[in-house]
Structure 1
Amino acid sequence: MERYETLAYDTALSTLVAVLIYVLVKLSVDGYRHWRARARVLVVGSGPVGLTAALIAARSGKVQRLVLLEERCRTALLARPQQIALDSRSVRFLLGLGVDFDNMEGCWHNEHFFTKVGVFQEYLLSLLEKRKQELDIQIHLGTKFTEEYLKKIPTSEFPRVIVVCDGSCGESSSVLGISSDYIVESCNAYGANAALERADQRQVPTPEIRAHSLYFDLSAYGVEFASSNKEAQGLQSSALKSGSHLKIYGTFRNRYMALACPMSDSKVVKFLRHTPNSSVAALTLG
């Protein structure tokens, strides 16, 4: 009886040791594979999109090294006065990335957060700086992405993933040998922008002012409507149905106005297409 007990004990012990060895080996192999699977990532451009992409990569746990390139120096990058508006969906997404809007200069309006582009970029840069203790992150401001830059990277350190976020006028794609021809999807609308700078005001973000389904009286430009004219009534109805959109935004110092008119063949829209260049710039924004 004692011999069977000893045999059972030895069998159980051997099985336990074998299971432990298997688990340790599997964990080691999985860890090594995970380490090997981590990618070296290069992000070109440190605008809001580029910085957000870099922050997502840094928090993914799948990046071995993250390099961020920006052609502009830090002063020029963070001094941009333009305003950025983040809707509720964007806010929820950024909260998941660790963005604390309570510690960022800006204001709330209708579940939207408004701040300057430079303020938003500076905050995301600070988050990336904090991640340097956990991850190999290199931020190179004032460095342009060129063929010479790529040639200087050793083959063993060449990035597996390159994310280009240098704007619609950027030239980084051509450096990678990618055609600069893009598929452009029309939004079926015409647009115009105007800007006003008031040097005596501060750079304080302000909520957006929006107006939709607008009708513009362009009688001063030769477009008149008469209620007795059926054709004119049809044009007026078409103009009202098209519903132009107006948005005023920016800071107290830099005010911007954007006008969007849905594409149509009405005389009103045709006149609006040709008049902004000579008249919109003269508008006074409140």
Structure 2
Amino acid sequence: MSSTLSRADATITLNNGVRMPQLGFGVSEARDAEASVSEALAQGYRSIDTAAVYGNEDGVGRAIAASGLPREDLFVTTKVWNGHQGCDHALDCAAASLDRLGLEHVDLYLVHWPTDAFAECVQTWSGMEQLYEERRARAIGVSNFRAGHLQRILVLGGTVPAVNQIELHPHLQQHEMRALHDAHGLRTEAWSPLGRGTVLQEPVLGEIAERLDATPAQVVLRWHLQQGHIVIPKSDTPQRIAENRAAAELELTDDDLAAIAGLDVPDGAGRIGPVPDDPGSDT
């Protein structure tokens, strides 16, 4: 059966042995999460990324329930927002998210954003570990953490985050953070993988896309996959949802990869989202 799987079905093994689809579907700012997730599931996506702060976990849950897909075939990620950090608050937030999703567990639960307060960071991670131990989350990780934030958790000597979900695209390639993740066994997950469209006008991407009979967005998504990133593009349109999944079937050459590497903007100036304060590093 495995020989018939599409490259879009490829998985990444997390540091606790859980397998996560490398290509998933994001619902941040979705106009209608229920409709878009239903379409994504129908087109073969099996990993859905949401968050409490998106306000659409209930719609995601309805789409999952209506799909009729076995729970074990799905990989669901959600996140705790800053207003619910601290151990007890994180546990309450997780319980509310599970209720809205209609699930007994999520596959990955993330701390959505780092906080400045060291004690609160440690307390939140304690709550995350409790969720993991209670099997309400099959894996736990973080989002938007920089080097100093990660170090706060790593020095505890407990559970190493499975994933750090960060802004990552050809204009912000995050070499130092990716190397840090590799050194500690974290997987790198890219949000805003297309740089909110800002990278797609780059001539080199157009040239590669023309040669491959693809779109610049597909080229960028394939670049992420060949770099080993987990990637969660989002869209509300069936055609774009299908195009994003088809990007997995492309193959970039070493020359293509080198050309895209040249699109990185120095000193992090290609960042389009807010900059998380890093208490321990200028990375």
Q: What's the TM-score, normalizing by structure 1?
A: 0.23
Give the number of the structure whose residues are more often strand, by fraction: 1
Q: What's the TM-score, normalizing by structure 2?
A: 0.23
Q: Who wins on radius of gyration, i.e. which is larger?
A: 1
